[in-house]
Structure 1
């Protein structure tokens, strides 16, 4: 197959242009002349050879125009034969300069009978020599054809090399993108592994911490009750100071409990209960807790409408998220100037969510760190100022509520965290909490079976439930044995115990009858395994979280007794109605 390359001839002599066409263009070849040349050179007829598409121009200006048109067509010239002595504005060297401006890779042959410039002068003016050759007139046809063939091949190889370089650059760019993606995925995997490890640690740690917190809190309540019973004699022993110490200690317990609850967010894929939170109340609470520190350093801008609908999430956890974001904003503020920290909330009814924003005019976050700020244990704060858990806990809390948290930041201008939370539309939670009403001490004494593997918890519950008849068991087997000897109104059972879980006791009572299983109230120290989550989702029984208050315990017991009374009354009514039907 004949291969064609484009050749440009620029010469003011028409005969020279015709000779180039005769030698290089197949359509105008003199076959006899070429065969004669071939026989003289090779001793045979002309072999298959390269054929060229030849363009000719009588002067430099027209030659440059032809070159420009060829580039526009996407088929540039490979080789140019340029006469040195031409009339007009462009001599040979000026024409070559203009051609290289249009086609930088063009291979050029200077055609001249008398060289007006030295080779040194030519190279000094044109700045290159590896694309430049000299052909003396009169030229030999075979020499012209060989030059055209060799230089066009050189030009083609150069084009292939440049294309290969472009392909390699594109491949390298693609590889860099793939490596960036892989590194990002590896970072995400490491983060997931951290979250998984932290989740398993939080589950077991929460259980171990909440158990002692439970009996410490209940013992403190019993101590407070005993002190208040002293009445007028309280001042004689400095009782008011002792009560203040008890209140401060209880506040410390609540802080520990809150931290454990937040850490537990890493051990749950979602919340077991649907809880609603008021955004305006959460903002007010967060500003109340951190407002004093904030106002010393910045102006506070609050744009939170009071009529916002409730959102999904725990009220206290949402408040803690806001406190964390506000304190981070405080730490990002520069010294001096007039810095601002703002909180804004907007309801989007068409999308069914509320957007809560916390922004500052601080130092901002560098772009390369934005993807890492939610990683556990990652922090840019000085040692002692941050643990690296705050933002990761915030994200887990928001994600568990069905929402999302994102960040935008510009170095030197500030940072904005945006939280999207779905509007709350579901019913009340099953988890028991204090309702704020006084305990009815005049109710009948309930028979309560407490099942827990922690001896201190058993003793504390006996003291706390002093108005009830309390029996205790330290394992499931012991509890089943006690339940078989007498009837209990309520069974308070820990969910996770070495000698068997609360679900096993529930199933044993369920085999006796659904009314027995309905008497169980579960207690948990926070060890929510997937199996425990599935079990609590299947049952309708209430559970309380350690550490719990005496008020919560009394209320859930009263509620349980009321439900049991309603069920028994309904059963008696059905029995009476059935008996009446039989006598008719």
Structure 2
């Protein structure tokens, strides 16, 4: 219901007769007509709103009235006014009821129906904030007074709502206008800030450019249209040893003196010349749009240095050339690195050729040696002369020596000339050793040697399985040859000496080493004295082992208490994962 149509009235009184009287006065048509006639008699004028009807809701206690008020607000059909009795036992009295009503709807107009024996007006004012919302109707009251109060207060409620609506409209208009003014003011302030920022940027542009130029990592200088130096940064000071105070505002090619020892044209002076005329001073010069780039050899601090240089013109906003800028970079070390790279690539190519040559040589040697391996034993069985048989034995051993030498030399070359990076995988160390022990078993059995594998099964290393097999094959064959007759070879692993790595030992009880031989036994073709005339050894086995360990970023070394007291070859390998240091169960070949 809109404010213009609201004639809803709430009556709160504990006396049913009062409700009937109010309904006769405000609602029933006949009573309303009688009241209109009385109004004409009293005031001499026809009432203008004779057709006005009120909607009256009744409540007999304050709590009930509050419930009706809240329901009307929720349904958006508020009461315009309320008649409230002052005394309504046993519930709230009139003052407390009004307090509760105004808390729910502060706009509600209220008339207190009271007698002279009820609260005084001062007592009412002490308890509630009356404002202009409260009138007093003294009992007993007449119908005209009630009707006039109803008309007046409902009209007042309507006017108050209209005023609030207009005030809200004015406030909204003021708010919108204020927002427009705020936006306009913000735009103006932003424009002012932008103009000030542009001015600051213009003032600071030259300083920033100078700062950037000053701290460029490349040596850089700038000249104006007259060829005078206007900027000389720190890097060019460090390169030439010439301070900016010594050269700023200097012209007549003064900037060439620190590089060439004379006043002459350099790259920045040749921007508009054709390349053919410039190539005499700068071989290999290149032009990219308006930029020239070239290399030059100059003398700096008594040493010939190679400088890469780039020069470009500078223009103002009108497109007029106002100077030039040149940057220089010392690339001497870069050229040396490139030369070293070329040398290493050539060396790698040579190594690859050697590997290919050794492979072909090994293949070519095997071709004539193969029939000799087959024929010499057959010939020896047919020869009765001991002297001739001895010569055939020497020939057979020599053939074996040549075959072993070519095979090991090829292994060493291949290990040293690897072009591809090593790709290690987890390898169980004990299993790898076990396979190699079985491969060397005939040699161990021939000399009555006991071989003990004391590596725990849980130890796993990160290695190339192929190279690891070759490593142990050479170490075990070497130990089998030089261990004592009917002696012992022991392979063990220690996890506590180096973090993340295992130290593997291959130890024999054989001939041992002299002082000074521990470092040399890993050299190519080196043989200890006792093995110098042993045709079954080529002097490459331990060199191959060293190369394999270096390929795995490990260390290898030899330890020996002395002649006749055995030798231990020790090396390191990276662990593939965390491995507990358990004592391995010994696996024996004897």
TM-score, normalised to structure 2's length?
0.39
Instruction: Decide which structure has the larger Cα Rg and report it.
Output: 2
Structure with bigger RCO (C-alpha 8 Å, 6+ apart): 1
TM-score, normalised to structure 1's length?
0.39
